[in-house]
């Protein structure tokens, strides 16, 4: 995968609950991270004293974060609704020339800020709330 435009990494939210995904407007920076906890099964019999990990075990998770400016009433409203109602709707993350990650996420934080002589901005963080799927592009 060669160099890509950062603006092509998109976060989309299901607006209606029926698979109607729309890009969260106004995002200027986005980030996606994957994590997998490990389970250490090292024992006195481990070859050469090297740590051993239990394959296929542990908890997997993903986190998404983004920041930007207010731009689109429908996605701004849906994002606020998801947070205040504690919903875990499907989101999609489009990774250019790689694939699409889809699954339920919970918005774990939203921060709003603004300066006297600048635009109002927001930052949000989301945590995976169930099984995610991957589709190659």
- Domain-by-domain residue ranges, the chain? 6-136
What is the DSSP code string of 9-26? Answer: -EEEEESSSSS-EEE-TT
Q: Which fold does the domain 6-136 belong to in CATH?
A: Factor Xa Inhibitor (4.10.410)
CB-based contacts of 13: which residues, under 8 Å, 6+ apart? 21, 22, 24, 75, 78, 79, 82, 89, 91
Q: What is the pLDDT of residue 75?
A: 80
Question: Confidence band (pLDDT; 50, 70, 90) for 123?
Answer: very high
Over residues 44-63, the mean pLDDT reads 92
State pTM to two decimals.
0.83
Is pLDDT above 90 for 100? yes
Residue entry with tokens 């019999």: 45
């Amino acid at each position: 995968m060669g160099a890509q435009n950062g603006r092509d990494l998109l976060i989309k939210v299901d607006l209606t609950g029926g698979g109607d995904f729309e890009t969260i407007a106004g995002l200027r920076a986005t980030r996606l991270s994957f994590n997998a906890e490990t389970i250490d099964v090292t024992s006195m019999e481990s070859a050469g004293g090297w740590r051993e990990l239990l394959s296929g075990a542990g908890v997997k998770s993903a986190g998404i974060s983004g920041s930007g400016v207010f731009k689109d009433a429908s996605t701004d409203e849906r994002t606020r609704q998801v947070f205040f109602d504690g919903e875990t709707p499907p989101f999609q993350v489009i990774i250019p020339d790689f694939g699409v990650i889809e699954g339920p996420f919970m918005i774990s934080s939203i921060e709003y800020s603004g300066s006297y002589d600048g635009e109002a901005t927001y930052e949000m963080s989301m945590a995976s709330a169930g099984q995610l799927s991957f589709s190659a592009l």
